[in-house]
Amino acid sequence: MSTENNTSSNLSKFLFSIRSYTPVPFLIVMIIFGKPEIWSLITGFLIVIAGELFRFGGVSRAGSETRTTDRTGGTYLVVSGAFAFLRNPLYLGNILIYFGFGVASLALSPYLQIFAMLYFFFQYYFIVQAEEAYLKVRFGRDYENYCKSVPAFIPRLTPYKNPGIEQPGYNPAAGLRSEKRTLQAIILVAIILIVKYFYPF
């Protein structure tokens, strides 16, 4: 059991450290094999926007700590804003963004989209395990109660409330600064797919 736990922990740490780079191969395949249509671009971009709204809501509340790649951690147990509806708004946002671009590109459809969804769920499953192990130790019963009430990836309909837990302020300006690279990447990929629609290559 100890060996299995160590293996799972090492895998979680590894996937956490490379999580910013794993979308790159999928994006390259989308660009090379993409055959976008007007309906796929509209549908896919709407999914991407929904994903970025989840991300923006999360980083505007949790701050720049969401950008760390060398360790899991957190100053606050954030249970407000986007985190009041689901425990992992940034990861759900990422999944929606990747899936949205897959739909927009129609690259190797539907196999690439299905494979990408399965891979990213696999990746985030192990990353969340590592993060939640840390949060359970750091925040104890508060985090356990939060987990019982708030789903990991499927948003609940009403916000979770626990006024006894200190929360960081909502800072959309800081969220926008934190999301600068993500927004640049989204715009770049969107432009490439639009160009590919008008000028197939």
pLDDT in tens, 15-68: 888 888 888 999 899 989 999 999 999 999 999 999 999 999 999 998 755 444
Given a cut of 90, is residue 13 above it in pLDDT? Answer: no
pTM (2 d.p.): 0.87
Length of the chain: 201
Residue 71 has pLDDT above 50, yes or no: no
Q: Over the chain, what is the mean pLDDT?
A: 89
Question: What secondary structure letter does DSSP report for 5?
Answer: H
Cα separation, 23 vs 20, whole angstroms: 7
DSSP calls for 63-130: GGGGG--S----SS---SGGGGT-S-HHHHHHHHHHHHHHHHHTTTTTHHHHHHHHHHHHHHHHHHHH
User: Per-domain residue ranges for the chain?
Assistant: 21-164+171-198
CATH code of 21-164+171-198, in short, is 1.20.120
pLDDT of residue 70: 43
Rounded Cα distance between 23 and 8, Å, is: 22
pLDDT higher than threshold 60 for residue 1: no
User: Both tokens of residue 189?
Assistant: 């990929």
Question: How many separate helices (H) and strands (E) can be counted in the chain?
Answer: 7, 0
